[in-house]
């Protein structure tokens, strides 16, 4: 019997997924465990392995299109099976979901004329949802110039919002909304990952009261220790591995920094799980080294290298990039000397690390010495970490870096 293939949550925070590619085509036989398609989630592109068996009768969500978790993306069944009822039900679901979204926002107006979804227009009438019509009227937008993205080209709320944004862009006029951009301009589609990054960082920035602590650290002894270790091992242990370990030691002394705000409670984590921000072509991802407080630098370095390689090849699993209790962002390799970073939930702090630079410093006896200095900026969530607590943590971290042997 024919049935839907539903979009499933391939990451803990996934609400929608974008089909990157279909690995099976209509008419193919599918067995349980077969790779059905590639889905772009909020963090990475994941394999969707089928849990159903049968013939792939119909693909409902094409490559590059989005689907909500729990919504149909395909139909499987027996060869030549009649699926007209399922296809009709899909159209009905889409319309009902759109009307439900309209009604949540617009519950004061009533429209007696039903809107058909069979065509983009019927005669001279434009097909649009009730809310879209009212929004267009209030904003003075001509529905005839707006391309609908709903079922059968129906104009819906998001199309009005998009059109309004274009109207208020200086280089565009209402008459040019359906035309190509000016020569030389490029329209870049926003990926699911980029949308989620924008949403989550905006939520973090405006819901968590950030404050910032900054100091400079002498790294001469730290770099000597790293050089000695590398010579002993005959391989290179990364600077990031040392910083992760140093942060873990400081968090042991200040466990409240390793906590999460939960509204009515604060969750103090028993495990120190440190994430390191890694740049990808379409955004950032934060692979996480678990239980850093009970691991040595060499073990941390090995895990970091494996995780970074997976991150750069878009192969991280949700367990490998979610749930960091503290995050580090190091832009020193780009020549950045100092910067501030936005807290990465569920953590309550993030450490921004800059480039190591050589500078003259006044030493003992008022002598001038050349020292290696690194600027660190700690962003804290004031709901969890008081100023004095954040300052004490950063001071202890400075002491550990400046004298790693004694620490």
| Annotated catalytic residue within 386, 396, 399, 403 | 386
Residue ranges for the chain with pLDDT beneath 50: 104-124, 172-178
- The answer to whether the beta carbons of residues 157 and 135 sit under 8 Å apart is yes
User: What pLDDT does residue 190 have?
Assistant: 76
386 is catalytic: yes
Contacts of 66 (CB under 8 A, 6+ apart): 16, 17, 18, 19, 192
Tell me the CA distances in angstroms from 342 to 42, 43, 357, 377, one per residue in order: 18, 17, 24, 11
Answer yes or no: 382 catalytic: yes
Question: What is the model's pLDDT at position 24?
Answer: 93
146-200 residue pLDDT tens: 877 775 577 887 888 888 777 655 554 444 444 567 888 888 877 767 777 888 8
Summarised one tens digit per residue, pLDDT across range 36-90 is 999 988 777 888 999 999 999 999 888 888 888 888 999 999 988 888 888 887 7
Spot the catalytic one: 210, 221, 282, 382.
Answer: 382
pLDDT at 277: 95
CB 54 within 8 A of CB 30: yes
Read off the pTM: 0.66
Q: What is the distance of C-alpha 149 from the center of its chain? A: 24
> Which one, of 257, 242, 197, 144, lies nearest residue 13 by Cα?
197
In sequence order, the β-bridge partners of residue 373 are 218, 357
The pLDDT value given to residue 210: 97
Per-residue pLDDT at 108: 40
- Give the DSSP H/E element, type plus range, for residue 92: helix 84-105
């Amino acid at each position: 019997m024919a049935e839907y293939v539903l979009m499933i949550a391939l990451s803990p925070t996934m609400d929608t997924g974008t089909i990157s590619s279909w690995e099976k085509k209509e008419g193919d036989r599918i067995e349980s465990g077969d790779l059905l398609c590639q889905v772009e989630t909020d963090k990475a592109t994941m394999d969707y392995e089928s849990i159903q068996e049968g013939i792939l009768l119909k693909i409902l969500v094409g490559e590059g299109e989005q689907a909500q978790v729990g919504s149909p993306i395909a139909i499987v069944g027996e060869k030549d099976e009649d699926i007209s009822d399922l296809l009709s039900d899909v159209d009905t679901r889409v319309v009902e979901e759109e009307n439900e979204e309209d009604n949540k926002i617009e519950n004061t107006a009533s429209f007696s004329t039903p809107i058909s979804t069979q065509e983009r227009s019927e005669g001279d009438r434009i097909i649009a949802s009730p809310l879209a019509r009212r929004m267009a009227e209030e904003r003075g937008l001509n529905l005839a110039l707006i391309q609908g993205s709903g079922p059968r080209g129906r104009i819906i709320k998001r199309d009005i919002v998009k059109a309004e944004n274009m109207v208020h862009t200086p280089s565009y006029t209402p008459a040019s909304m359906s035309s190509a951009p000016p020569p030389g301009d490029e329209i870049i589609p926003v990926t699911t990952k980029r949308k989620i990054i924008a949403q989550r960082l905006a939520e973090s920035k405006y819901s968590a009261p950030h404050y910032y602590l900054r100091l400079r650290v002498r790294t001469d002894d730290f770099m000597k220790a790293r050089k000695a270790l590398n010579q002993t091992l005959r391989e290179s242990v990364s600077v990031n591995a040392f910083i992760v370990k140093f942060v873990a030691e400081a968090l042991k002394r200040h466990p409240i920094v390793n906590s999460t705000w939960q509204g009515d409670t604060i969750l103090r984590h028993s495990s120190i799980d440190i994430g390191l921000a890694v740049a990808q072509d379409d955004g950032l991802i934060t692979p996480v080294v678990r239980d850093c407080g009970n691991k040595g630098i060499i073990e941390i370095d090995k895990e970091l290298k494996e995780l970074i390689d997976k991150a750069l090849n878009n192969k991280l699993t949700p367990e490998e990039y979610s749930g960091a209790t503290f995050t580090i962002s190091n832009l020193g390799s780009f020549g950045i000397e100092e910067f501030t970073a936005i807290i990465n939930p569920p953590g309550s702090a993030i450490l921004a690390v800059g480039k190591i630079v050589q500078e003259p410093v006044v030493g003992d006896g008022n002598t001038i010495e050349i020292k290696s200095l690194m600027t660190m900026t700690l962003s804290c969530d004031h709901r969890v970490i008081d100023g004095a607590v954040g300052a004490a943590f950063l001071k202890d971290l400075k002491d550990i870096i400046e004298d790693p042997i004694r620490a």
